[in-house]
Amino acid sequence: MRRARLFLSLAGLVGVVSLNGCLLGPNYSREPVPTPATFRFAATEVADTANTEWWKQFQDPVLDDLIATALVNNKDVKIAAARVEQFMGQFVTTRSALFPQISAGATAGRQRISQAGPQPTLPGVGPVFNDFELSVSAAWEIDLFGRIRRLTEAARANLLSSEEARRATILSLVASVASSYLNLRSLDQQLAIAKATTESRAESVHVFTLRFQGGEVSQMELAQSQSEYEASLATIPQLETQIAQQEDALSILLGDNPRPIVRGRELGALATPVIPAGLPSDLLERRPDLLQAEQNLIAANALIGAARALYFPQISITGLFGTASGQFSSLFTGPSRVWSFAGAVTQPIFTAGNISGQVQTAEAQQRAALLSYQKAIQVAFQEVDDALIASEKLHTQLEVQGRQVTALSTYARLARARYEGGYTSYIEVLDAERSLFDAQLAQTQTQAAALTSFVTLYKVMGGGWVVEADKMTGQASAGTNAPAGTAQALQ
């Protein structure tokens, strides 16, 4: 028992040495990132919408329900959550090497040895005997040079990277559902315009047919009227196809089989969200994809130290304590006690470039991860600027198109009146009505694009609303940067 305590004391001492040993490789520190003071197209009117469910600003309960359903049932979110669990298992497995690996064993057997063999049996010892053993063994690699600690650091960063990837999936999902729903309502409105235009043109064809039969209009004018009717009629099946396909795509986002989608408020009745407040420097802490890229950089940085530690000795200790006896009744007596402990040191001498190759690979991966992180930051700035300018200019474009539709409505009304009065040809009426139809469709598309620009803006700026959406998945994180159950594992 004294020897066992001696062994444990020695192991504890070596453990302290291990935890305080040198740690090879560079320690990660975030390098200064050049960030502009403001975005290039910063809005003059913004609002702080952190930690809010921003999509509720559209004031459409149906959209709110669709997003809530998607967050619970979407397969991509579930896949991302499973990957977090996978990396958490890898982290726990890697970190376990820092601690002694203890196992217990028990054997019981009966055997007979040859009496005619080269080694004769001892006097008084029969050829048949029993063998009972009970033991506890331990093995421990002493991490003096930080190889295991660097691997653990990399595994932890990979775990946090997978969690940020899950949060990025959630952010993208909310934006995709909102954008798909807005596009669906836009197609619905375009279909209504196409049907109304087709119905109006059908009445014109009917009137022109009667007039042609009465000799009041020429066959050319009748054919012109029929041509415009068929043109608007042809857009109906096109829009119906797009609506069905959009419903199918939205159903998949909801984690369901293709099915019809319930509608809420019409496109024109949706409220306009506010522009979220934020500075360029905020993106580094708000966007999950940037946090993911940084964790990938941390992991790559740690692997350099793990590779460099291979140049140094690997030290391990093993120990065993137990009992062995030929009779079970004496298995727990003093004379049957057995024990052993040993230490081993392995030092690489010649590896033909194996270790230097691993170091070179790790350093190259770190440089690539750093450049990827820097590029991701630049792309993030670009995406926010693009979304800001799109939001501003689309609203200007929508105002212009609104005035255009009003003007074309007047033009079409006056052109028909002039035609009925005999002051112009029917070609002018057709031109006015065709231009009005195209302008109405374009206005509807711009209206949806303007609302979608806010969706894109909230997506590219990240923020606390990711946490709010995360809570709705039923797999909310235990902390801002740790998946459920991982906060304890990382401690």
Please give the angle made by the CA atoms of 190, 191 and 195, to the nearest 5 degrees: 120
246-268: per-residue pLDDT in tens?
999 999 999 999 999 999 999 99
What is the rounded distance in angstroms from the CA atom of residue 267 to the CA atom of residue 447? 8
113-133: per-residue pLDDT in tens?
776 667 666 666 667 778 878
E strand segments, 328-374: 337-346
60-95: per-residue pLDDT in tens?
999 999 999 999 999 999 999 999 999 999 999 999
What's the number of CA atoms in the CB half-sphere (13 Å) around residue 459? 20
Please give the angle made by the CA atoms of 454, 458 and 459, to the nearest 5 degrees: 115
Q: What is the torsion angle, in degrees rounded to the nearest 10, for the CA atoms of residue 182, residue 187, residue 192 and residue 193?
A: 100
- Report the Cα 484 to chain-centroid distance in Å: 16
Q: What is the largest CA-CA distance in the chain?
A: 137
How close are the terminal C-alpha atoms of the chain, in Å?
33
In tens digits, the chain (491 residues) has pLDDT values of 344 343 334 444 444 444 456 788 899 888 887 777 676 666 655 566 666 788 999 999 999 999 999 999 999 999 999 999 999 999 999 999 999 999 998 888 888 777 666 766 666 666 777 887 888 899 999 988 999 999 999 999 999 999 999 999 999 999 999 999 999 999 999 999 999 999 988 988 888 888 888 888 888 888 888 988 999 999 999 999 999 999 999 999 999 999 999 999 999 999 998 888 777 778 888 899 999 999 999 999 999 999 999 899 999 999 888 888 777 777 777 787 888 889 899 899 988 999 999 999 999 999 999 999 999 999 999 999 999 999 999 999 999 999 999 999 999 999 888 888 888 878 888 889 899 999 999 999 999 999 999 999 999 988 778 888 888 887 655 444 444 444 445 55
Q: Which residue range(s) make up the domain with 267?
A: 20-100+144-304+357-477
What is the rounded distance in angstroms from the CA atom of residue 197 to the CA atom of residue 25? 71
pLDDT at 351: 87
Residue 440's nearest CA partner among 235, 193, 202, 212 is 193
What is the rounded distance in angstroms from the CA atom of residue 413 to the CA atom of residue 410? 5
- Burial label for 444, CB within 10 Å (0-12, 13-18, 19+), is buried
What is the rounded distance in angstroms from the CA atom of residue 257 to the CA atom of residue 205? 42
Let me know if residue 116 belongs to a domain.
no
Let me know if residue 39 belongs to a domain.
yes
Q: How many helices (H) and strands (E) does the chain have?
A: 11, 4
* The model's pTM: 0.84
Q: Which structure tokens are listed for 425?
A: 């040809």
DSSP of 294-306, one letter per residue? HHHHHHHHHHHHH
pLDDT at 121: 64
Q: CATH number for the domain including 376?
A: 1.20.1600.10
What is the rounded distance in angstroms from the CA atom of residue 16 to the CA atom of residue 3? 20
Let me know if residue 446 belongs to a domain.
yes
Phi, psi of 35 (to 5 degrees): -125, 135
What is the rounded distance in angstroms from the CA atom of residue 59 to the CA atom of residue 218? 53
Let me know if residue 184 belongs to a domain.
yes
Let me know if residue 128 belongs to a domain.
no
Eight-class DSSP state of 274? P
Domain count, the chain: 1
The dihedral built from the CA positions of residue 114, 115, 117 and 118, taken in this order, carries a sign that is positive
Neighbours of 23 (CB within 10 A): 17
Let me know if residue 378 belongs to a domain.
yes
pLDDT at 11: 42
Let me know if residue 311 belongs to a domain.
no
Let me know if residue 170 belongs to a domain.
yes
pLDDT at 431: 87
